[in-house]
Structure 1
Amino acid sequence: MLANASSTQWYCQGQQATYVRTQKSPGGILDLLEMARPGGDMSHPALSDLVLYQDQLGGSRVRGNSGGGPFDVTSEQGVFYLAAPDFDTTVMVDASHQLRSVSFPVAQWQKVLDEAVDGQFSMECLQLYGDPFHSPAIRLALRNLWVLSEEEGAPSRLLVRAAGCEILAELCRLSGAPFAPAKGGLAPWVQRRCLELMRAQLSEDISLDELAAEAQLSPFHFARMFKQSVGVPPRAYLTQLRMEKACELLELTELSVTEIAHEVGYSSNQVLARIFHKHQRVTPSDYRRVVRSPAFEHHAMIRRNTSREKTG
């Protein structure tokens, strides 16, 4: 296999390809793989990525060395393993198993890590190589990232970058990284400007880096401070904005569902329909039909009049 190959190259272009069930590369920022493998040798040569694996089944004996010294454990469902970049990993598994992995290309993510901890920490310092570990925060972030890739096909750069920052932040925290302080939330003018940009560019692929530049912060610190100020991560807020705008366009315009999908940054009406139904519990077409019905308009008018009387 190619020297210094990426995780995706190793698993998808060589003898390992037969075990790969699903491959996703959200925005070219992170690589996601799902693999079903028989028991046996799972070793690989030094890869250029930091790779996080999650055991989907559990119950296997796993032994070897992935960068933090020898280990010999019985794996549990949902547990994580971290493999160091540029390390010849040796791993043996005694039974068939199913894995999901997320790979961080070091060239893209080392700068984010440097900014997060003022250059006092590196991927080599992560203390999680080897023994398996649990993390509800990483489990949630990885599940959300996987769902985003299922729903949207190619999620926006903002969504993927923010999810990557969440996972990397938790890996650093679990390793005792000396985080540089986030210094509270965003300044009011920064928050207002960033939210305006997100609303104005819903149909475009705005990135976390662009928003962070507006705030004059690193992407890592921006993502943390945005959540402190707004209450949800940037990726979740972006989805909220898209749903609100889609509802408005369905109610007030004659645009087709496909046109509305493009207006709010989705690639097709099918993608919009999946996400819209998940959040609104109805399809876009059914939502339009309901909000335009005479009965709905009558009740909406009563609510508006009642509200005016209370404030008047």
Structure 2
Amino acid sequence: MTVHAQSSFAQWHSKGRHASYVRARKSSGGVLDLLEVARPAGDMSRPALPDIVLVENMLGKGRLRGDLGGGRLDIATRKDTFTIVAPNFATTVINDEHHRLRSVAFPLAQWQDVLDDAADGRFSFDTSFVYGQVFDSPAIRSALRNLWAVCDDEGAPSRLLGRAAGCEILAELCRLGGAPFAPARGGLAPWAERRCLELMHARLSEDISLDELAAEARLSPYHFARMFKQSVGAPPRVYLTRLRVEKACELLEKTDIPITEIALDVGYSSNQVLARVFLKHMRMSPSDYRRAVRDPVRQTFLNIQGAVLAAADSKR
């Protein structure tokens, strides 16, 4: 591979004529970058950049010619399919139709240690991924849809979400490439589970990272995420969201703190973000919830609704 990296994938798209093609960008503290790009037909080659890039074709028309790091290709594009672009490789790409792409870029500096640990030292950027080939993956498509949906609700993905989603996607990419990650090692030790849950409660208002939680349990981020889910029954990000919604409910019920302050207290950047998250989990706005819990008649309805939602969640 050519090793003359210049900047990052996201930075390259933010400069010159390429910036006008970007329709959306979400970044999680340097952990990963999500970009949606709409480009006209023509040359979309770029210099060598230090990112693994997963590209999803949102339109699926036209023909693609060039080299993405796996040798020369000349293929018809298909909607909702994926391609991986090699890191530190100057691509040559010509697309004969206008196209819309969603890309997830994994900076090598953020992911090298995670990949090495997840593969028990057997990871290789040259052989673990299949670069340039068009493929389909329902698992990756689902992970990306969920990632973009959370970003639509909450803005830029948290560091916890970015690392957890990245581990999930890269694990599937390695499996498809014939270099699967090492299997999970069971659940967390009781002391590790207790300390991690205490840390999440104590730092509810912060953008706590998966790396920090993993360090508390003395594990790598990859193994921690899987072992946490086995122990607690939900991924770290899902569990943290649950804690934040529960705390918001408590503050709405027992205090007169403004909703804007409650949003900040439970780790959301604004009352609008809290409202979107709250509506998804509680099926009502924070204001409606506050009124309901202070009205005996509505409280009875709320208790019934909560029981129904809890039962539905337990079946998922």
TM-score by length of 2: 0.89
CA distance in 1, matches of 2:157, 2:67: 34
Q: 1 CA distance for matches of 2:179 and 2:9?
A: 25
Picking from 162, 165, 176, the partner of 1:163 is 165
Matches within 5 A, 1:237-252: 237-252=239-254
What amino acid is the match of 2:152? Answer: E
Q: Does the 8 Å CA contact 1:83/1:129 hold for their aligned counterparts?
A: yes
Q: Which residue of 2 aligns with 1:86?
A: 88
Whether 1:104 aligns to 2:106 is yes
Select between 3-12 and 240-249 the one with higher mean Cα deviation. 3-12
How many pairs align? 301
Aligned to 2:135: 133
Give the 3-state SS of the residue equivalent to 1:123 in structure 2: coil
Q: How do residues 257-296 of structure 1 correspond to structure 2 at under 5 angstroms?
A: 257-296=259-298
Partner deviation per Cα, 1:253-305 (whole Å, 9 max, x = no partner): 21111111111101111110111112222110011111211214567899xxx
Distance (whole Å) between structure 2 residues aligned to residue 3 and residue 85 of structure 1? 8
Q: Determine whether 1:188 maps to 2:203.
A: no
CA deviation digits over 1:7-49, x for unaligned, max 9?
A: 1122111322221112222222111111111112221121111
Aligned residue in 1 for 2:225: 223
Kept in 2, the 8 Å contact 1:58–1:77? The answer is: yes
Shift of 1:242: 1.1
Equivalents in 1 of 2:293, 2:76: separation in Å? 55
| Structure 2 residue aligned with 1:42 | 44
Name the CA distance, whole Å, in 2 between partners of 1:205 and 1:19: 30
Matching residue of 2:312:
none
* CA distance in structure 1 between the partners assigned to 2:21 and 2:172 by the alignment: 29
Amino acid at match of 1:232: A
Give the 3-state SS of the residue equivalent to 2:262 in structure 1.
helix
Gaps of 5+ in 1: 303-312
Q: Could you tell me which residue of structure 2 aligns to residue 147 of structure 1? A: 149
Shift of 1:189: 2.6
Match of 2:24 in 1: 22
- Measured in 1, the distance between the counterparts of 2:237 and 2:206 equals 14
| Residue 82 of structure 2 corresponds to residue 62 of structure 1 | no
Conserved? CA contact 1:163–1:235, under 8 Å: no
Q: In structure 1, how many angstroms separate the alpha carbons of the residues matched to 2:128 and 2:17? A: 30
Query: What percent identity do the matched residue pairs reach?
Result: 66
Q: Could you tell which deviates more after superposition, 149-158 or 240-249?
A: 149-158
Could you tell me whether the CA contact under 8 Å between 1:19 and 1:36 is conserved in 2? Answer: yes
Closer, same or farther: CA 73–300 of 1 in aligned 2, 3 Å: closer
How big is the shift at 1:158? 1.2
Which amino acid is 1:77 matched to? K
Please list every run of 5 or more consecutive structure 2 residues that lacks an aligned counterpart in the other structure: 305-316
Q: How far 1:178 sits from its partner (Å)?
A: 4.5
Structure 1 residues 88 and 297: alpha-carbon distance in aligned structure 2, compared to 1, 3 A threshold = closer
CA distance in 2, matches of 1:270, 1:300: 22
Q: Partners of 2:265 and 2:204 in 1: how far apart? A: 7
CA distances 1:199-250 after superposition (whole Å, capped 9, x unpaired): 2211122211111011111011101111222232211111111111111211
Partners of 2:272 and 2:302 in 1: how far apart? 29
Paired residue for 1:309? none
CA contact (8 A) 2:118 2:223 kept: yes
Contact kept? 2:27, 2:157, Cα under 8 Å? no
Per mean C-alpha deviation after superposition, the further-off stretch among 66-75 and 178-187 is: 178-187
Equivalent residue of 2:268, what SS?
Answer: coil
For 1:162, give the aligned amino acid: A
Q: Distance in 2 between matches of 1:115 and 1:53?
A: 25
- CA gap 1:244/1:301 in 2 versus in 1, 3 angstroms: closer
The code of the aligned residue for 1:175 comes to G
CA 1:298–1:9: 2 relative to 1, 3 Å: closer
Alpha-carbon separation, structure 1, partners of 2:125 and 2:246: 39
**In terms of mean alpha carbon deviation, does 230-239 or 99-108 score higher?**
230-239
Determine the structure 2 residue equivalent to 1:305: none
Structure 2: distance between partners of 1:94 and 1:300 = 56
| Distance in 2 separating the partners of 1:63 and 1:263 | 51
CA distance in 2, matches of 1:101, 1:244: 34
RMSD: 2.0
1:110 Cα deviation (Å)?
0.7
* Counterpart residue identity of residue 38, structure 1: P
Instruction: Call closer, same or farther: CA 1:277–1:45 in 2, change over 3 Å.
Output: same
Counterpart-to-counterpart distance in 1, 2:303 and 2:95: 65
